[in-house]
Amino acid sequence: MMLQLTTLDILPAQESAFEGAFSKAQALLRNAEGYVSHELRRGVETPSRYLLLVHWKRLEDHTVTFRQAREHVSWKALLDPYYAKRPESLHFAELTE
């Protein structure tokens, strides 16, 4: 299993609107091929910074399949207006069971 960790910096005063848009966008994520689970966390010290953690079966399920899917276009349309800067994603392999 692969963990995607994405940092999302949201425009000031847009946090609530972003959270509303994310509640719609997460359905697109849940239906993606290779999707396992996800969490969205909001920063305590920096409330405009969020972490999106997504578990995928394989790295390619995120980097190829999801990014090339038409659902990704809808995902971007819902969420991109709220980003203060481009999200940064890293991927981590599981070492323990």
**What is the sign of the dihedral through the CA atoms of 87, 93, 96 and 97?**
positive
Domain range 2-92, CATH architecture: 2-Layer Sandwich (3.30)
* H/E run at residue 36: strand 35-42
What are the tens digits of pLDDT across the range 57-72? 999 999 999 999 999 9
pLDDT tier for residue 34 given thresholds of 50, 70 and 90:
very high
pLDDT of residue 17: 98
